[in-house]
Structure 1
């Protein structure tokens, strides 16, 4: 019996020693892999960018050549890109271990409007970021936005009111902007839309998308009743109020006064109608 016990102890010691040796070499192998060039960033690819230089996106991500692939925090790198580059709406990072490649895919924000003031025209992104100043001769394929912003700076954010309008415009189909010649930001949470057919529409910024969808059906309703261009108030729930220009309140008065932009049909001093 003593010999058997001794033999068992020897076997246990041998097994334990083998585990120690295997663990040691596994650790050495792991260190070798981690320190190997094969486990480091050898390539960085950027896609989806049309206006932002690749180098700027890579710098914003914080990912660098030679960095250990184990240390690449994909979620944090994507968040850093969005936080540092206002023109980027979202970003995604992926890692390919065999090739040592970090792939960065970005989705840039779109230009949704052009802000016009005495100093010129400025393209606005969907978050209110002032992208660039453009010459007046460049053509204006986007809605014109006006307001009290007199200190726009390229590559800076516009005012909160203008930014809120841009955010709404980002989700508006182009077809619903047809016929809108100008969007004036009033600064009180509302906008005045000037239409090509001479109608004016008052709408809440918070519900601008819904108001744009309601404009054409509402105008068709009033035109079908024989009403000439006037002011349509969409700031509340239907029925929407129509006021001819001759009795529409001025910007400085609470009572009605003539604006000289058109004549009402007889008997239309103030009318309401439900959304058709």
Structure 2
């Protein structure tokens, strides 16, 4: 029986290879530790440098609340550590403001913060004691505006006192589509014996609308169709209390003229 021939390596031949392997492992450890050390130093230097601070705070989407006020509400500043900014916490702080519906906070590379604001819609302005008070879509009446500010983009409520009727009017206005709401200039509270919730609207086209607060939003949906059938020179009152019909100013003037003539006779 023959034995398989194999190559026999002496211990002298293996020692250089073992030394070489150990040297490679030692070099790899050395490179790892050096790399880790420099990374650690870089991280320390980064957190000590201005690069780790918030470089800028950008606010968008705000119309009525100033950018400065939003930043103040957020509690952020350019001295804050960028990585310690808690987006959820900042959003909550901003949303505590009565006019803020939603605030989205986003941290942008490298170290800027962007805040997107969604405000509650202003459905009307209440003229009370010579000052304009914004009314939000939530029904909340805000503090008066500065004297120099002229409200626009929403109807003005005239001859109203703080009451349930005002709250109900605000609630109905929230349901009126912007396409119709933009046609309304003023809303006067004109209660009658039969209808304490009666209101008179002065429209931007020069016409009036006589309607009640009850189901106001639903009744106002008939306005565009009626107005579209009238010529610009046809001015008068669109009645929407029960049914819908138009009564011209000219008819009233003719009736008054005839009455005057009869009185002279």
Q: TM-score range by the shorter chain?
A: 0.5 to 0.7
Q: Would you say 1:21 and 2:28 are equivalent positions?
A: no
TM-score (norm 2): 0.56
Q: Would you say 1:11 and 2:17 are equivalent positions?
A: no
Could you tell me which runs of 5 or more consecutive residues in structure 1 were left unpaired when the two chains were aligned.
Answer: 152-157, 185-190, 222-227, 234-240, 244-261, 263-276
Give the total of aligned pairs. 213
Q: Would you say 1:215 and 2:223 are equivalent positions?
A: yes
Contact 2:200 2:211 in 1 (8 A): yes
Q: What is the Cα deviation at residue 112 of structure 1?
A: 2.5
How much is the aligned-residue C-alpha RMSD, in angstroms? Answer: 4.6
TM-score (norm 1): 0.55
Mean CA deviation greater in 125-134 or 27-36: 125-134
Aligned to 1:173: 179
Larger radius of gyration: 2
Distance 1:133 1:121 in 2: 5
| Distance verdict in 2 for CA 1:79–1:167, change over 3 Å | farther
Distance 2:74 2:226 in 1: 48
Contact 1:176 1:212 in 2 (8 A): no
Could you tell me which runs of 5 or more consecutive residues in structure 2 were left unpaired when the two chains were aligned.
Answer: 1-10, 191-196, 203-207, 230-236, 246-251, 253-265
Q: Would you say 1:114 and 2:125 are equivalent positions?
A: yes
Aligned to 2:53: 40
Q: What is the Cα deviation at residue 115 of structure 1?
A: 3.0
| Distance verdict in 2 for CA 1:218–1:183, change over 3 Å | farther
Contact 1:113 1:144 in 2 (8 A): yes
Distance 1:115 1:220 in 2: 29
Aligned to 2:241: 232
